């Protein structure tokens, strides 16, 4: 230390106080933009180490040496404080000294590595206090400004919708929405190519500035790096003070800070989405239709929406985008998972915390690999609901053409109270190629129930939707006199959300059934003498099943007995989709003349039971089996998205994957069976790639089946079996299930099996057998018991085999969820086969049978060798009280009904009639009988009031006229038939009772 410095230190040490000058502060200047009076400080940005440099200006700034008596010496700097929206003392290490007139200040900001501090925006006075305590202040010396923030960017083209895309061959206007845009110091706007290169500057003369919006006019031809498929650029907004947006930590993304620039733009056609809403606690699958065409590989689809806890919209990729056909794609909106891979659903309170913030409509942006693009916005955008309306039930479920003054529509879902105060009830039905929705008058409504009138509705109170769900003006109203099957809808008025319930049956009181109409699909295999049964899955989707049968006249050479099963989905309006053969779960053996029923287990799914039948040799069977309608909840869920990697043989383009589980043989519901497959998961490979799939393990899985599209860029639904790896996870338990993985290197070409369709059933499980083998009999569920009646028994049922004796003519079994108990027997009045069995109960005859009561109706059949048809004088119809005071009876006394023929429009000169080889149903207070008659084997159709206009209280009540109907129908002998909704479905069968009759594959539905 020099002598002079030592002397100074000693003098200071001996002094009673520190003497020194009084400073003055004249202002401050920013080293970023040289602003002064005030100096601008961006306290949210800055060099992490050096901070934001502002120089304090004035005179007599007097630092003093420190630590002179110690090994390490230094300088004690004047104290610097700011006062304004908050008070702040700059830590001494960041106060520097140039000379007595200038002190550089390394101001701390939000991004400082050490001592970070983000000052609140506003004007601050600057105070400098020398070590002697003397100080000076300059008011308004520093102004803290927030950095600019970019929330969204849109390009407004000369024509067409706004989009985050710019067409370089046309002039466009770019609108940048955000905050912190200073009009007193207009920012500079530039487009920075993400791949590197020179930025494109926006001319200041074309820029309009407000605090929250920047409008810039971009001339054509400005972007040298524009391309046919779009070149990504980031928009940068720079404040003259040095703040920029987007900053390192700011949210980036397409439509937020980024745009694509095309050399020339191609728009997709008009896009429509269905549905246009989703529940916040479950990812929502949507279908997007394009009036033009998609090119084939899966498009990129984004939704711009905020994540919960934020108000800032961010681009969120839709999951599982799949090419269906040239005009259609499907995708999953991650309403629950948001930007995270999971969960896909969480219905617990507060579930899906990282999902999309309820609100909207949010814009969905679609970009085809060809470079064409389109958007769904405004009224066509997507809305995320807290909880959309969900209809749990309606009451009554069936009315007649007189309408009703009180249709009760009950809310379901998690809360059971999701109807908005302004929600409106509607009745929905097909109107040509469109669907019409008509408003029903409201009697009263709460969040949990709406009471409405079902009556005629004028055209002005209806709307229609085309096949792409685009809303149109209605071309008509609603007539309550039209019998049929209707959907009841609760439609929100503030957003597009609605809830549907299928459905309401409208019947004609004491009137003949309507003419048969094509049901919408035909059987794959023409068949006869088989059951047709309806069942539903865990998601409430309904299906029709045709099981077994024969493919020609019974007992004739060339006729084969079948074990195959076909399934058809039933639309909400009762029309059938294409039948599909279930190739993995045929019946355990070939059989015809069997019966089938279904049970829906709450909280589980539907189960189909097959009972008895006749084998290929003609022997009657006692076998009873059960199969599960496969649950959608049991399908694996592939983690999305799949990131391809190099080092494989997958060609460039889009591939689709699905995964199913093969269950162990010990599985109680589906032993050794296959679950439904996961949703399609696409992967877009760059060539010479491989893909690794992962999914949460499935408890009880022994293996997994991996399905993949055969060809690159093929449509979804073309997947075939790729591999069948064994399950690797040995303990599939815990709240976070371990994952299974599979890597596809592209070396194998898939072939063979397809994934099972929705509505497929599981493996058959043996149930307790019948006490007596039987075929060609009737079966029906009444309450919680299964009843079978009549039938052929013995080894000659393909010829003239005998009937089950009347003394053991019926059997019943207790139903316990998805299982049956042991069968017990009882007597019917008359032995018979080729008979039918139906149930008259409050649901099927609401004006005739009291609630909690039910009557089994045994109708028709033949007996003896040679056979004779039972007629009204020989016990064609007998009834038994099967449900008494809501209790299904184990022992029933059957007695003959006393129906007569009534008026015979064909002048068949007899008052007796009978039926065989047909079907029987009770619906809308009427008894229907269809089959070959007792006189000449013509196939005829009769119906009449089940209890002649009076309550059904005893066997004697079942009387009156069963009228031969003039209804048009397809003649069918030994068809499959079932009642569902507002229709009796009648399928297959033979054109007559003759040995050379033709087998049928057509399916009708008869409105009743």
> pLDDT tens digits for 482-508?
988 999 999 999 889 999 998 898 887
pLDDT above 80: residue 874: no
pLDDT above 90: residue 509: no
3-state secondary structure 9-26: HHHHHHCCCCCCCCCEEE
pLDDT above 70: residue 11: no
pLDDT above 70: residue 820: yes
pLDDT digits (tens, 9 = 90+) for 806-818: 999 999 999 999 9
Q: CB-based contacts of 122: which residues, under 8 Å, 6+ apart?
A: 84, 85, 143, 144
pLDDT digits (tens, 9 = 90+) for 26-39: 999 998 878 888 99
Percentage of residues in the chain with pLDDT exceeding 90?
67
Kindly report the CATH number assigned to the domain that includes residue 456: 2.60.40
**What average pLDDT does range 567-571 have in this prediction?**
95
917 shares a domain with 829: yes
Three-class SS state of 460: helix
pLDDT at 251: 74
71 shares a domain with 177: no
pLDDT at 27: 95
Q: CB-based contacts of 160: which residues, under 8 Å, 6+ apart?
A: 267
Residue with structure tokens 């003609």?
618
Contact 716, 757 (CB under 8 A): no
Q: Is residue 957 part of a domain?
A: yes
Question: For 208, what's the count of Cα atoms within 13 Å in the CB-facing half-sphere?
Answer: 8
pLDDT above 60: residue 869: yes
Separation between Cα atoms, residue 164 and residue 686, nearest integer Å: 25
8-state DSSP, 6 = H
The residue among 826 and 229 whose pLDDT is bigger is: 826
Separation between Cα atoms, residue 780 and residue 800, nearest integer Å: 25
Separation between Cα atoms, residue 134 and residue 20, nearest integer Å: 8
Residue with structure tokens 């189909």?
608
Separation between Cα atoms, residue 359 and residue 335, nearest integer Å: 11
Q: Is residue 10 part of a domain?
A: no
pLDDT at 6: 35
> Cα-flanking dihedrals φ and ψ of residue 733, to 5°?
-140, 170
801 shares a domain with 695: no
Chain length of the chain: 1008
pLDDT at 184: 79
355 shares a domain with 283: yes
pLDDT above 90: residue 170: no
* Cβ neighbours around 949 below 10 Å, total: 11
Which of 711-720, 870-879, 908-917 reaches the highest mean pLDDT?
711-720
Q: CB-based contacts of 159: which residues, under 8 Å, 6+ apart?
A: none
8-state DSSP, 51 = B
- Residues linked to residue 115 through DSSP beta bridges, in sequence order: none
3-state secondary structure 162-185: CECEEECCCCEEEEEEEECCCCCC
Separation between Cα atoms, residue 123 and residue 820, nearest integer Å: 82
**What average pLDDT does range 848-862 have in this prediction?**
96
The two three-digit tokens of residue 455, written as one number: 């009556």
pLDDT at 511: 66
**What average pLDDT does range 881-893 have in this prediction?**
98
The two three-digit tokens of residue 293, written as one number: 């065409």
* Cβ neighbours around 751 below 10 Å, total: 9
Tell whether omega for the bond before 471 is within 30 degrees of 0, i.e. cis: no
**What average pLDDT does range 287-304 have in this prediction?**
91
CA torsion through residues 219, 225, 230, 233, sign: negative
pLDDT digits (tens, 9 = 90+) for 66-105: 755 455 567 899 999 999 999 999 999 999 999 999 999 9
618 shares a domain with 644: no
pLDDT above 80: residue 798: yes
Q: Is residue 758 part of a domain?
A: no
* Cβ neighbours around 842 below 10 Å, total: 16
Please report which confidence band the pLDDT of residue 966 belongs to, taking 50, 70 and 90 as the band edges: low
pLDDT at 15: 42
The two three-digit tokens of residue 143, written as one number: 């102004």
Three-class SS state of 264: coil
Please report which confidence band the pLDDT of residue 17 belongs to, taking 50, 70 and 90 as the band edges: low
- Smallest Cα–Cα separation from 966: which of 513, 509, 483? 513
Q: Is residue 13 part of a domain?
A: no
pLDDT at 912: 55
pLDDT above 50: residue 12: no
Separation between Cα atoms, residue 860 and residue 928, nearest integer Å: 12
- Smallest Cα–Cα separation from 743: which of 801, 659, 842, 836? 659
The β-bridge relationship of strands 606-611 and 653-663 is unpaired
Q: Kindly state the greatest CA–CA separation across the chain.
A: 145
Separation between Cα atoms, residue 677 and residue 798, nearest integer Å: 40
Three-class SS state of 886: coil
> Cα-flanking dihedrals φ and ψ of residue 152, to 5°?
-160, 160
- Smallest Cα–Cα separation from 848: which of 928, 958, 965? 958
The two three-digit tokens of residue 857, written as one number: 């109706």
The two three-digit tokens of residue 116, written as one number: 């970070």
The domain boundary residue, chosen from 678, 710, 744: 744
Q: Is residue 62 part of a domain?
A: yes
8-state DSSP, 620 = B
The distance from CA 236 to its chain's CA centroid, rounded to whole angstroms, is: 39
Q: Per residue in 631-649, is it b (16+ CB within 10 Å) or e — as a string? A: bbebbbbbbbebebeeebe
pLDDT at 71: 53
The domain boundary residue, chosen from 692, 713, 744: 744
Residue with structure tokens 């008894």?
927
Show contacts of 814-818: CB within 8 Å, 24+ apart: 814/784, 814/785, 814/888, 815/599, 815/781, 815/784, 815/785, 815/786, 816/784, 817/599, 817/601, 817/604, 818/599, 818/601, 818/604, 818/607, 818/626, 818/628, 818/669
pLDDT above 50: residue 107: yes
222 shares a domain with 191: yes
pLDDT above 70: residue 906: no
DSSP symbols for 462-492: EEEE-TT--EEE-S--B-TTS-EEEEEEEE-
pLDDT above 90: residue 429: yes
Q: Is residue 659 part of a domain?
A: yes
Least reliable range by pLDDT among 339-348, 564-573, 630-639 = 339-348
Please report which confidence band the pLDDT of residue 342 belongs to, taking 50, 70 and 90 as the band edges: confident
**Kind and range of the H or E element at 4?**
helix 3-14
pLDDT at 910: 46
Burial class of residue 602 (count of CB atoms within 10 Å of its CB; 0-12, 13-18, 19+): exposed
The domain boundary residue, chosen from 218, 237, 262: 262
691 shares a domain with 555: no
pLDDT at 915: 84
Kindly report the CATH number assigned to the domain that includes residue 985: 2.120.10.80
985 shares a domain with 893: yes
pTM, full prediction: 0.80
pLDDT above 80: residue 110: yes
789 shares a domain with 875: yes
The distance from CA 908 to its chain's CA centroid, rounded to whole angstroms, is: 56
3-state secondary structure 376-426: ECHHHCEEEECCCCCEEEEECCEEECCCEEEEEEEECCCCCCCCCCCCEEE
579 shares a domain with 694: no
pLDDT at 3: 38
Q: Is residue 471 part of a domain?
A: yes
919 shares a domain with 826: yes
> Cα-flanking dihedrals φ and ψ of residue 373, to 5°?
-145, 165
The β-bridge relationship of strands 462-465 and 434-439 is antiparallel
Kindly report the CATH number assigned to the domain that includes residue 49: 2.60.40.10
The residue among 180 and 830 whose pLDDT is bigger is: 830
Contact 503, 981 (CB under 8 A): yes
3-state secondary structure 83-99: ECCCEEECCHHHECCCE
pLDDT above 60: residue 794: yes
The two three-digit tokens of residue 770, written as one number: 């019948």
Contact 329, 294 (CB under 8 A): yes
pLDDT at 14: 40
**Kind and range of the H or E element at 821?**
none
Three-class SS state of 146: coil
Q: Is residue 792 part of a domain?
A: yes
Residue 276, CA distances (Å) to 271, 321, 388, 463, 498 in order: 12, 16, 12, 17, 10
Q: Per residue in 149-169, is it b (16+ CB within 10 Å) or e — as a string? A: bbbbbbbebeeebebbbbbbe
Separation between Cα atoms, residue 526 and residue 257, nearest integer Å: 61
85 shares a domain with 71: yes
DSSP symbols for 356-368: BPSEEEEEEEEE-
Which of 160-164, 235-239, 704-708, 923-927 reaches the highest mean pLDDT?
704-708
pLDDT above 90: residue 479: yes
Give me the number of domains the chain comprises. 6
Q: Residue 404 belongs to what domain range?
A: 391-498
Separation between Cα atoms, residue 718 and residue 118, nearest integer Å: 57
Three-class SS state of 957: helix
pLDDT averaged over the chain? 90
* Cβ neighbours around 350 below 10 Å, total: 8
Separation between Cα atoms, residue 922 and residue 877, nearest integer Å: 13
Three-class SS state of 661: strand
The two three-digit tokens of residue 800, written as one number: 């003239």
């Amino acid at each position: 230390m020099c002598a002079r410095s030592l002397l100074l230190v000693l003098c200071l040490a001996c002094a009673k106080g520190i003497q020194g000058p009084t400073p003055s502060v004249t202002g401050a200047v920013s080293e970023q933009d040289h602003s002064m009076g005030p100096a601008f400080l961006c306290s949210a940005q800055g060099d992490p180490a050096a901070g934001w440099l502002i120089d304090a200006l004035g005179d007599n700034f007097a630092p003093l040496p420190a630590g002179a008596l110690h090994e390490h010496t230094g300088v004690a700097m004047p104290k610097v404080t700011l006062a304004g929206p908050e008070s702040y003392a700059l830590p001494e290490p960041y106060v520097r000294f140039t000379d007595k007139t200038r002190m550089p200040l390394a101001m701390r900001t939000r991004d400082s590595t050490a001592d970070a501090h983000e000052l609140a925006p506003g004007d601050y006075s600057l105070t400098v206090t020398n070590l002697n305590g003397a100080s000076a202040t300059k008011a308004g010396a520093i102004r803290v400004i927030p950095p600019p923030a970019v929330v969204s960017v849109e390009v407004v083209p000369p024509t067409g919708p706004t989009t985050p895309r710019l067409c370089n061959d046309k002039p466009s206007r770019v609108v940048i929405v955000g905050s912190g845009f200073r009009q007193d110091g207009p920012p500079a706007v530039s487009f920075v190519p993400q791949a590197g290169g020179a930025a494109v500057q926006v001319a200041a003369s074309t820029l309009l500035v407000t605090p929250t919006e920047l409008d810039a006019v971009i001339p054509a031809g400005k972007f040298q790096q524009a391309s046919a498929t779009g070149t990504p650029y980031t928009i940068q907004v720079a404040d003259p003070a040095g703040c920029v947006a987007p900053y390192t930590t700011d949210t980036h993304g397409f439509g937020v800070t980024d745009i694509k620039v095309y050399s020339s733009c191609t728009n997709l056609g008009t896009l429509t989405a269905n549905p246009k809403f989703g529940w916040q606690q479950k990812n929502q699958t949507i279908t997007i239709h394009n009036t033009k065409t998609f090119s084939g590989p899966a498009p990129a689809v984004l939704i711009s929406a905020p994540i919960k806890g934020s108000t800032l919209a961010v681009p969120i990729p839709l999951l599982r985008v799949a090419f269906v056909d040239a005009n259609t794609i499907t995708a999953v909106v991650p309403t629950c998972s948001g930007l995270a891979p999971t969960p896909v659903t969480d219905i617990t309170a507060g579930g899906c915390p990282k999902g999309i913030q309820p609100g909207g409509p949010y814009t969905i942006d679609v970009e085809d690999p060809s470079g064409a693009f389109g958007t769904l916005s405004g009224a066509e955008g997507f809305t995320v609901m807290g909880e959309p309306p969900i209809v749990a039930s309606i009451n009554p479920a069936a009315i007649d053409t007189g309408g009703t003054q009180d249709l009760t529509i009950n809310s379901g879902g998690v809360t059971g109270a999701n109807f908005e105060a302004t929600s409106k009830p509607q009745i929905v039905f097909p109107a040509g190629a469109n669907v019409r929705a008509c408003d029903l008058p409201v009697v009263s409504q709460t969040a949990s129930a709406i009471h409405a009138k079902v009556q005629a509705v004028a055209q002005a109170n209806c709307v229609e939707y085309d096949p792409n769900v685009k809303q149109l003006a209605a071309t008509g109203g609603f007539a309550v006199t039209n019998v049929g099957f209707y959907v009841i809808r609760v439609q929100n008025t503030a957003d597009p959300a609605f809830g549907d319930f299928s459905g309401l049956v409208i019947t004609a009181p004491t009137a003949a059934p309507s003419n048969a109409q094509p049901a919408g699909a035909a059987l794959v295999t023409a068949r006869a003498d088989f059951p047709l049964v309806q069942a539903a899955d865990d998601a409430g989707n309904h299906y029709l099943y045709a099981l077994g049968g024969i493919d020609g006249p019974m007992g004739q050479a060339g006729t084969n007995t079948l074990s195959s099963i076909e399934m058809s989905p039933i639309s909400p309006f009762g029309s059938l989709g294409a039948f599909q053969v279930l190739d993995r779960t045929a019946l355990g053996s070939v059989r015809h003349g069997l019966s089938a029923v279904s049970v829906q287990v709450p909280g589980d799914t539907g189960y189909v039971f097959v009972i008895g039948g006749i084998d290929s040799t003609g022997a009657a069977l006692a076998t009873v089996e059960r199969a599960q309608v496969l649950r959608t909840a049991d399908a694996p869920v592939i983690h999305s998205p799949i990131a391809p990697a190099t080092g494989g043989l997958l060609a460039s383009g889009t591939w689709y994957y699905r995964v199913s589980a093969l269950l162990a043989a010990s599985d109680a519901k589906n032993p050794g069976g296959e679950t439904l497959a996961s949703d399609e998961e696409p992967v877009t490979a760059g060539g010479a790639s491989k893909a690794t799939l992962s999914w949460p393990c499935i408890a009880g899985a022994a293996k997994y089946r991996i399905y993949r599209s055969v060809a690159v860029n093929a449509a979804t639904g073309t997947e075939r079996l790729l591999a069948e790896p064994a399950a690797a996870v040995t303990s599939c338990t815990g709240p976070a299930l371990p994952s299974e993985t599979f890597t596809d290197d592209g070396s194998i070409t898939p072939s063979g099996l397809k994934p099972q369709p929705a509505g497929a059933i599981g493996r058959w499980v043996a149930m307790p057998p019948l006490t007596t083998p039987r075929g060609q009999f009737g079966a029906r569920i009444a309450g919680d018991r299964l009843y079978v009646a009549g039938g052929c028994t013995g080894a000659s049922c393909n010829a003239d085999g005998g009937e089950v004796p009347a003394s053991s003519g019926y059997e019943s079994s207790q139903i316990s969820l998805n299982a049956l108990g042991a069968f017990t027997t009882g007597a019917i009045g008359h032995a018979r086969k080729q008979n039918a069995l139906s149930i008259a109960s409050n649901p099927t005859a609401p004006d005739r049978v009291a609630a909690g009561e039910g009557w089994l109706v045994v109708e028709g059949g033949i007996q003896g060798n040679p056979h004779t048809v039972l007629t009204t004088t020989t016990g064609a119809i007998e009834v038994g009280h099967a449900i008494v005071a809501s209790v299904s009876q184990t022992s029933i006394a059957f007695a003959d009904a006393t129906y007569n023929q009534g008026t015979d429009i064909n002048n068949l000169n007899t008052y007796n009639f009978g039926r065989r080889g047909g079907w029987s149903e009770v619906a809308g207070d009427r008894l229907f009988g269809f089959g070959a008659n007792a006189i000449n084997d013509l196939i005829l159709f009769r119906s009449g009031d089940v209890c002649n206009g009076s309550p059904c209280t005893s066997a004697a009540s079942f009387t009156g006229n069963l009228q031969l109907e003039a209804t048009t129908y397809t003649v069918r002998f030994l068809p499959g038939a079932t009642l569902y909704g507002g229709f009796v479905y009648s399928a297959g069968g033979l054109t007559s009772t003759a040995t050379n009759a033709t087998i049928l594959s057509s399916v009708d539905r008869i409105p009743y």
